[in-house]
Amino acid sequence: MSSRASSTRRTSARLLPDLVVLLLATTLAACAPSLGPGPDQPSGIWLQLTSGLGDNQAIEDGHVLLVERGSQGGVHIYGGLRTRGIYRGSEDDYQALLSGDRPLIEFSLENADGVLSSPNAMRDLLTIEDSGAMVLSGRRVVFRHYSELPDDWQSLDWQEIEGRLEQEEMIFSVLINDSRGRVLQDSATVRIDFPDSEQGMMGR
């Protein structure tokens, strides 16, 4: 065997891993979704966190979320979303119940101490806008004043605590996971605003 032929085989062996990596990268690039930053690229795949109320406007950093009190003393905010590229699932409620193919959506409110929102993941039917984007609005997000309730909670001044929470920056986010395995998340830095209450906070 000539030294030239042996050298050629050694060179080919060294090049093989590089060729495999190149082919894999090319294949993945061709299959990857077009991830647009938001509604400015309607043909892409994107998710936008929205207020969930009124015109369902986009939530940007610095947005103030209005808090509502429930009849039992708890507190909640509202969330919504606008998205494209997510598998919507069955329109029929019975079929959706059988197949579980509607997207699973969860909102989260978090401060420096931890997650304040209660677990709220549920499968929702998204409404289709004229633009073709899919929308969810009016989702109630219940939250607590503490990620972990302190032992002396009965002696706390809840109005003072609410005033402190209003001064904190929090992260409000939405996570959507469709039945085909696509996962998208969007978040914003927000503040919350409690309504006045003569009796203070009764819930935790």
Residues of the chain short of pLDDT 50, as ranges, are: 3-37, 199-203
Residues facing residue 117 across a β-bridge: 143
Question: 8 and 60 in one domain?
Answer: no
Residue 204 falls inside a structural domain: no
| DSSP annotation of 102 | S
81 in Cβ contact with 48 (< 8 Å): yes
Answer yes or no: is 169 within a domain: yes
pLDDT single digits (tens) 43-98: 589 999 999 998 899 999 999 999 999 988 899 999 999 999 999 999 999 999 99
Inside any domain, residue 199 = no
Tell whether 111 and 183 lie within a shared domain: yes
Q: How far is it, in rounded angstroms, from Cα 199 to Cα 48?
A: 37
Task: Give the sign of the dihedral formed by CA 37, CA 41, CA 44, CA 45.
Answer: positive
Please indicate, yes or no, whether residues 180 and 106 belong to a single structural domain of this protein: yes
Helix, strand, coil tally for the chain in percent (to 5): 25, 35, 45
Domain, as residue range, for 113 = 46-193
pTM: 0.76
Same structural domain, 9 and 57: no
